[in-house]
């Protein structure tokens, strides 16, 4: 058996999950605390699910899921007397996402009968401030995007800057029990406490990168999160579940995930270089990593911004008619032509719109040509998507197309078919199309220049009441 | 002619931020990995042809330890555009499997 406490000076962080709200196990947290954990840290966001969450400033996770996880994490952190850090609150880390999470935390604290001191660190940016930075030449594009213009900045609904660990460290040093952060790199929120307590920078950042998705770096990702054990020149990764393992392969392979370069990763204030890292078993559950390097660089923060565009309405039909299924490409082209000309005739040629038909069961996922000789499917779903400048227009265009979409025969002269609508009304307003428009970095004085911290001291509030 | 799907034990694709897709090719042995580590058959042109990306921007990083090659390319349209069919790019690897790798 391993010595649970590890070597002296090792900083231990519980990473209970890859995303707050995905579910945490109380037993896992207690195991980490029994090992002497110094903090619990987790990410609560991502850009993975698309630009809609940032543009609208709403969470992808539902309130109940966040509440359930916070209840466990806040209760256990309070009992152990260790801080809880949450990065990128509310999926996209807008100010609204931080406030939403803070309000849930206050509610949970009330129910648990605890009075933590909560620090909220915000990194949403005022558009005017960014326009000024851009004019000062402090914003640089990352490929494949080009230089930034004022109009692109102005078109964004929300812009957030990705924080480093500094605001978290400052908040904990000032006595925060809970730090709720706006947009932060996944790594920074996990590296903050090790860096604060004097762990090696290479080891801290590399450990955080490995642990960013919780159990994803373990052999069995379904079995809970991990415990980061960070020293001066090395770190070890241990699963929180006693039956799980962090193997040299599962730990090293995680750096491949969702990164375009698995060896050099740019973070606020430096670059993590893992090209010389060495991964070895410690025992049959944990892996030790040495050779990670941190190269300090002038401070930069990545920007994310999203804007709203046109609106979409969708309709769906199922087809089992073998004659149509045997000629799906012909059916698609004929339908595409008929719907497009129907919209143009009804709304005029000047109107901006797009009609797209996706044949699921045939080539709906890729939209690419199907090789000649491919046998017909037994069933196909056709999704109609119309995109137009307003939701109302998109709905009206879908209604205009409805009879054709429903009844169009494969060829002229065939008796009118009726395809299988699963819903009524058939047209479903899908909402606005959103777009990420920034892939830029801004140079700042330090990790604080674009960040604001606000405090909610529940003990003080309770004292006043 | 061997196909990518035949010489790799696993191929996967995933978004790497809103503007990039990354594809991981895990080879079935050290020997096959060495044979294709620097092969031009997995060059930028292949990705330009299959995904409509700019061949010059395609990045390729072999990871010797894991017998794999990571190739990343800019999405021709950003994630979530009006014609989006694969938000997380998780199905993009499929069209690579049948490619003759020589």
Rounded to the nearest 10°, the torsion over CA A318, A322, A324, A329 is 100
pLDDT tops 80 at residue A168? yes
Stretch A378-396: mean pLDDT = 98
Task: Give pLDDT, residue B69.
Answer: 96
Residue A264: its chain B contacts at CB < 8 A?
Answer: none
Stretch A433-445: mean pLDDT = 96
Do the chains contact at B70 and A256, CB–CB below 8 Å? yes
Residue B63: its chain A contacts at CB < 8 A?
Answer: 256, 262-263
Stretch A229-254: mean pLDDT = 97
CA angle A265, B28, A248 (to 5 degrees): 45
A50, A385, A439 ranked by CB distance to B80: nearest: A50
Residue A387: its chain B contacts at CB < 8 A?
Answer: 82
Return the structure tokens found at A173. Answer: 């040093």
Stretch A86-94: mean pLDDT = 98
A144, A354, A366 ranked by CB distance to B57: nearest: A144
For A306-351, what is each residue's pLDDT tens digit? 999 999 999 999 999 999 999 999 999 999 999 999 999 999 999 9
Task: Give pLDDT, residue A407.
Answer: 97
pLDDT tops 90 at residue A259? no
Do the chains contact at A433 and B81, CB–CB below 8 Å? yes
Task: Give pLDDT, residue A3.
Answer: 66
Stretch A18-40: mean pLDDT = 97
For B52-83, what is each residue's pLDDT tens digit? 999 999 999 999 989 999 999 999 998 999 99
What is d(CA A355, CA A341) in angstroms, rounded to the nearest whole number? 10
Task: Give pLDDT, residue B25.
Answer: 97
Contact residues of A toward B, CB < 8 A: 47-52, 143-145, 249, 252-253, 256-263, 309-310, 312, 354, 356, 358, 364-368, 385, 387, 433-437, 439
Residue B15: its chain A contacts at CB < 8 A?
Answer: 48, 258
- Among chain B residues, CA nearest to A364: B85
pLDDT tops 70 at residue A111? yes
What is d(CA A120, CA A46) in angstroms, rounded to the nearest whole number? 19
Backbone angles phi, psi at A364, to 5 degrees: -60, -35
For A44-57, what is each residue's pLDDT tens digit? 998 988 999 999 99
Choose among A239, A207, A236: nearest CA to A6. A236
Do the chains contact at A48 and B85, CB–CB below 8 Å? no
Give residues with Cβ within 8 angstroms of A276, minimum separation 6. A291, A293
Do the chains contact at B85 and A358, CB–CB below 8 Å? yes
Task: Give pLDDT, residue A257.
Answer: 81
Return the structure tokens found at A58. Answer: 């709403």
Percent of chain B with pLDDT over 70: 100
Do the chains contact at A364 and B85, CB–CB below 8 Å? yes
What is d(CA B80, CA B78) in angstroms, rounded to the nearest whole number? 6
- Among chain B residues, CA nearest to A277: B65
pLDDT tops 70 at residue A1? no
Q: What are the distances in angstroms from CA A78 to CA A82, A191, A390?
A: 7, 21, 49
- Mean pLDDT of the residues in chain A: 96
Cα dihedral sign, A424-A427-A429-A435:
positive
Residue A303: its chain B contacts at CB < 8 A?
Answer: none
Residue B68: its chain A contacts at CB < 8 A?
Answer: 256
| Residue whose token pair is 């000789």 | A373
- Among chain B residues, CA nearest to A259: B16
pLDDT band for position A98 (cuts 50, 70, 90):
very high
Q: What is the pTM of this model?
A: 0.94
pLDDT band for position A465 (cuts 50, 70, 90):
low
The ipTM estimated for the assembled molecules is 0.93
């Amino acid at each position: 058996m391993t010595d649970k406490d590890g070597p002296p000076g090792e900083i231990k962080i519980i990473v209970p999950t890859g995303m707050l709200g995905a579910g945490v196990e109380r037993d896992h947290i207690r195991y980490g605390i029994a090992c002497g954990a110094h903090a619990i840290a987790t990410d609560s966001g991502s850009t993975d699910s698309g630009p809609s969450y940032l543009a609208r400033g709403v969470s992808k996770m539902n309130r109940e899921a966040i509440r359930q996880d916070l209840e466990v994490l806040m209760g256990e952190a309070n009992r152990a007397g260790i801080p809880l850090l949450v990065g990128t609150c509310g999926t996209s880390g807008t100010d609204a996402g931080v406030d939403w999470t803070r309000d849930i935390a206050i509610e949970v604290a009330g129910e648990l009968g605890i009075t933590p001191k909560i620090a909220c660190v915000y990194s949403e940016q005022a558009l005017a401030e960014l326009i000024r930075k851009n004019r000062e030449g402090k914003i640089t594009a990352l490929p494949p995007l080009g230089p930034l213009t004022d109009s692109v900045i102005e078109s964004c609904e929300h812009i957030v800057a990705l924080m480093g660990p500094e605001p978290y460290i400052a908040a904990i040093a000032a006595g925060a029990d809970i730090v709720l952060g706006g947009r932060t790199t996944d790594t920074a929120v996990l590296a903050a406490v090790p860096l604060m307590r004097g762990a090696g920078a290479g080891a801290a950042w590399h450990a955080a990168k490995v642990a960013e998705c919780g159990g994803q770096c373990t052999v069995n990702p379904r079995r809970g999160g991990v415990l980061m054990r960070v020293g001066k020149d090395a770190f070890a990764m241990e699963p929180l579940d006693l039956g799980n393992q962090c193997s040299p392969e599962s730990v090293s392979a995680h750096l491949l995930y969702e990164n375009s370069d698995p060896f050099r990763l740019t973070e606020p204030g430096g670059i993590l270089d893992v090209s010389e890292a060495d991964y070895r078993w410690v025992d049959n559950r944990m892996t030790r990593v040495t050779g990670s390097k941190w190269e300090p660089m002038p401070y930069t923060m990545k920007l994310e911004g999203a804007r709203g565009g046109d609106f979409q309405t969708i309709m769906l039909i199922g087809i089992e008619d073998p004659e149509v299924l045997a000629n799906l490409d012909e059916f698609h082209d004929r339908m595409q032509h008929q719907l497009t000309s129907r919209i143009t005739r009804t709304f005029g040629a000047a109107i901006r719109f797009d009609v797209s038909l996706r044949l699921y069961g045939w080539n709906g996922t890729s939209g690419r040509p199907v090789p000649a000789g491919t046998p017909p499917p037994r069933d196909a779903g056709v999704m109609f998507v119309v995109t137009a400048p307003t939701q109302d227009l998109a709905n009206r265009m879908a209604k205009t197309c409805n009879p054709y979409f429903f009844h169009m025969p494969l060829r002229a002269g065939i008796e009118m078919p009726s395809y299988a609508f699963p819903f009524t009304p058939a047209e479903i307003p899908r909402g606005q199309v959103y777009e990420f428009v920034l892939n830029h970095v801004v140079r700042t004085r330090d990790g604080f220049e674009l960040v604001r911290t606000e405090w909610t001291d529940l003990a003080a509030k309770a004292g006043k009441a | 002619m061997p196909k990518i799907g035949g010489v790799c034990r696993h191929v996967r694709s995933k978004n790497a931020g809103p503007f990039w897709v990354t594809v991981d090719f895990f080879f079935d042995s050290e020997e096959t990995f060495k044979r294709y580590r620097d092969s031009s058959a997995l060059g930028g042109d292949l990705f330009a042809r299959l995904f409509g990306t700019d061949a010059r921007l395609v990045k390729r990083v072999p990871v010797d330890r894991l017998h794999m090659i990571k190739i990343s390319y800019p999405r021709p349209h950003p994630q979530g555009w009006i014609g989006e069919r694969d938000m997380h790019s998780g199905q993009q690897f499929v069209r690579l499997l049948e490619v003759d790798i020589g």
